[in-house]
Structure 1
Amino acid sequence: MILSPFEWTVAKRYMVPGRSEAFITLVGAISLVAVMLGVAALIIVMSVMNGFRAELLDKIVGLNGHAIVQGYSGKIEDWRDVLEEARETPGVTRASPLIEQPLLASNQGIARGILVRGNEPGDLKRLEENVILGDLSDLQPGERRVAIGARLAENLGARLGSTITIINPQGRSTPFGTVPRQIGYEVVAIIEIGVHQYDELFVVMPIEEAQTLLLMGDAVNNIEIKTEDAETVQTTLDPLAERLRGRASIQTWKQINSALFGALAVERVAMFVVLSIIVLVAVFNILSSLIMLVRAKTRDIAIMRTMGASRKSLIKIFVTTGFVIGALGTGAGVVLGFVFLEFRQGVVRGIEWLLGVNLWDPEVRFLTELPSRTDPAEVIGIVFMALVFSFLATLYPAWKAASTDPVQVLRYE
């Protein structure tokens, strides 16, 4: 929509009404701020939701791969054959044996539930970036050494060099019953995954050590698989699942964490709808301010009509006036949203300090820090939506202005 110099001059004049229309100016300013806050809220919330899902997926997949092969009896005796079949499956980028078993650990009279995890050397090496104390290279088969999660270390009162006792209820049989198997392990490393539940449970050891602890012989209970694309993991592994039918089952990350990611998807849609309504309500302020402006400028509109201004020119003037307010609010909202996301962690800590509450509890949120991942396409969609709403809000006031009858307005002037 191209404006003539006359139309643009009048539109600029109406964007900032004079002192006699101070209330209209106030409503227009409120409209701009409301659109700004609505757009910023949409960008912030959607980016945080995207970041939460992505970070959670990265950490979960980084530990357990995209899928897990599990034996029907809790063991995979011929795991080397299954491992070879998995590695030969098209689309599979990595496959490795894994032992995971919930057990009990104690230290100085403190007992906690744990998740024992036995890994091969290559898988242990991938955890090196999560080490905050110690060295994973000290984890050697037969040495009775382990790495534990940071929260678990706090809960057990353990530190580097401490000896924790891991208790396996499937111990040896005696005439008096089954005696639980209790073995002491030296803590040589403390790791922090960033997912609270993992940091609170994990005890990592070489796979041979886990086999000895769990009396599994040469068997494993899982095979971890990673594929080229996490979103198409089910399709990629369908041929392998068919070959393993009757021997083992395959669970993808979507199945294992279906409740969590399903809830995230529903919450994401709900938040988008609610915040979109907020933007819509903000745009109604533009509609209100333009209607008041049209009523205040009725005489000016009538004079312009008698001087030759066309209905089309008046429509363009008032559409431009309202649309510029919406566009400025949208632009300011984008800037505010990105500034907030850049300093989000400091903002959260500041609010926590001010109110004296814990806004980001890792036990509830799973992650230790507020994540963010901005989708450019999503931001463009939000901007487009706000601009469309702003444009639509200007149509009725512009039509009312163009419909003004100069004869009726100027009859008694």
Structure 2
Amino acid sequence: MLSTFEWTIAKRYLLPGRGEAFIFLVAGISLIAVMLGVAALVIVMSVMNGFRAELLDKIVGLNGHAVVQGYGGRLKNWQEILAETRKMEGVVAASPLIEQPLLVNFEGRVEAVLVRGTDAPDIAALKDKTVLGSVADLKAGASRAALGSRLAQNLGVNIGDRITIINPAGRSTPFGTVPREILYEVSAIVEIGVYDYDKAFVIMPIRDAQLLLLLGDQVGMIEVTTRDADKVREILAPLEERLRGQAVVNDWRTINASLFEALAVERVAMFIVLSIIILVAVFNILSSLIMLVRAKTRDIAILRTMGASRNSLLKIFITVGLIIGSLGTMAGLGLGFVFLYFRQNIVLFVQFVTGQELWDPSIRFLTELPSRTDPLEVLGIAAMAMLFSFLATLYPALKASSTDPVQVLRYE
């Protein structure tokens, strides 16, 4: 704790004296540098967290935490496996699913699509993601389908239009295999928020997908949602062991391994790089305190002759450095939160000024810049900035406390 005397001197040294404007300028630059370093670290880490969380939420929300997939794209005895999976401890939901890459044709335009056949509850869950039409119209046998927003845009399709889905594995004839073509009315356009899904998905009831793909009563996989996405492997381990040789169980980490591993590596790399920015910023605090000690050498000598202890001088200069560091840290946190709050507006403004698209959904997967701030991570960033600031004050504070008043007053 600081005494009244120590606190008074520390506050006095924070303000520029006669001929000390340059020292004050360096201290101000130090504060700004710490502020920018902390803000950059908070912004980047929050965006990285948000990107991972949003991507995980959208992928898991659509595909579940894991899938039980049959060999050859067909799952035998899927009704028994589905009933067993639903009874497992830790499993929240399980439903049959068919996914098959096919072709769609509309007025001469052809696109590669991913036909997704699912049951009524999963279709109903798309209600909040529907931008046009209604998924309630997707009934088995009605020959209706929902399209991803980007796919509908690429095809020029609107509600009520009829598209043709082409299955190359059609019926055999004396002249060869004739592709299977079925007309479907577009009853809904949905936006998942993941570019790759929105540009490819055609969603229909599972019975219609079975008819289109000539699967009979078979399905391709069972999607499973568990109580904890991070423990999905442990929860489904007994099922994986029992189905060995019949089917494979792939969780969300396995399915999207390359993507999430790349995000984890990038997150660590960005944290290290931006931490170096804060480290460089606190060197400005070090230099400003060294100049301050040099300018206040006579004052320090006089204080020593008046009874100030070495410990008091040590605390005074450490306090000066910590105040600069703490003000820069708090300002950086504030700047970071403001930037994150207006992040999408800032992105749009920079795009408007530069004429360049900064957030291309085809590359970034998500349609908007995400953000999710971790309070513990923010506290860690603030603590790191304060620790670096403290370490930067040690040398000049020790230098000031070791000043010999006899030598100074004799020669100066």
Q: Shorter-chain TM-score: which interval?
A: over 0.9
One-letter amino acid of the structure 2 residue matched with residue 99 of structure 1: I
Counterpart CA distance in 1 for 2:351 and 2:83 is: 51
Unmatched 5+ residue regions in structure 2?
none
Superposed CA deviations along residues 22-67 of structure 1, whole A, max 9, x for unmatched, are 1100000000000011111111111111111000000000110000
What is the aligned partner in structure 2 of residue 189 from structure 1?
188
Counterpart in 1 of 2:70? 71
Query: Residue 168 of structure 2 aligns with which residue?
Result: 169
What is the match of residue 212 of structure 1? Answer: 211
Q: State the alpha-carbon separation in 2 of the partners of residues 74 and 160 from structure 1.
A: 31
Q: Contact 1:114 / 1:202 at 8 angstroms: preserved in 2?
A: yes
1:183-220 alpha-carbon deviations (Å, 9 max, x no partner): 11110100000000000000000000000000000000
CA distance in 1: counterparts of 2:371 and 2:34, whole angstroms: 22
In the TM superposition, residue 403 of structure 1 has moved relative to its aligned partner by 0.9
Are 1:231 and 2:236 counterparts? no
Structure 1: segments with no counterpart, 5+ residues: none
After superposition, residues 9-408 of structure 1 pair within 5 angstroms as: 9-408=8-407
Q: Deviations over 1:211-251 (max 9, x none)?
A: 00000000000100000000010111010001111211110
CA distance in structure 2 between the aligned counterparts of 1:72 and 1:148, rounded to whole angstroms: 28
CA distances 1:102-161 after superposition (whole Å, capped 9, x unpaired)? 000011111110000001111101111000000111111111110000000011111111
Which whole-Å CA distance do the structure 2 matches of 1:297 and 1:319 have between them? 15
Residues paired across the two proteins, number: 412
The one-letter amino acid of 1:101's match is Q
Amino acid at match of 2:365: F
Q: Aligned with 2:158: secondary structure?
A: coil
What is the distance in 1 between the residues matched to 2:76 and 2:393? 71
Measured in 2, the distance between the counterparts of 1:190 and 1:279 equals 47
Shift of 1:78: 1.1
CA distance in 2, matches of 1:353, 1:407: 65
CA contact (8 A) 1:211 1:220 kept: yes
**Alpha-carbon RMSD:** 0.8
**Cα shift at 1:73:** 2.5
Q: What letter corresponds to residue 304 of structure 1 in structure 2?
A: L
1:76 & 1:300 partners in 2: Cα distance? 85
- Mapped partners of 2:363, 2:279: distance in 1: 32
Rounded to whole Å, the distance in 1 between the matches of 2:411 and 2:100 is 91
2:293 and 2:177 mapped to 1: Cα distance? 88
Alignment deviations for residues 381-410 of structure 1 (CA, whole Å, 9 cap, x no partner): 111111111111101000000111111111
| Cα contact 1:302–1:406 (8 A) shared by 2 | yes
Report how far residue 18 of structure 1 moved: 1.5
- Identical positions, percent: 67
In 2, Cα distance between equivalents of 1:23 and 1:222:
70
Runs of 4+ in 1 over 3 A off after TM superposition: none
Check whether the contact 1:77–1:218 (CA below 8 A) recurs between aligned residues. no
For 2:170 and 2:370, locate their aligned partners in 1 and report how far apart those are by CA, in whole Å: 43
2:209 corresponds to which letter in structure 1?
Answer: A
TM-score, length-scaled by structure 1: 0.99
Note the C-alpha offset of 1:300.
0.8
SS in 1 for 2:76: coil
TM superposition shift of 1:19: 3.7
Determine the C-alpha separation between the residues in 2 that align with 1:5 and 1:372: 44
TM-score by length of 2: 0.99
- What is the alpha-carbon distance in structure 2 between the residues aligned to residue 203 and residue 151 of structure 1? 11
Q: Once the 2 structures are TM-superposed, how far is the Cα of residue 77 of structure 1 from its aligned partner?
A: 2.7
Q: For 2:265 and 2:175, how far apart are their aligned partners in 1?
A: 53
Question: How far has the Cα of 1:412 moved from its partner?
Answer: 3.3
Moved more, 310-319 or 11-20: 11-20
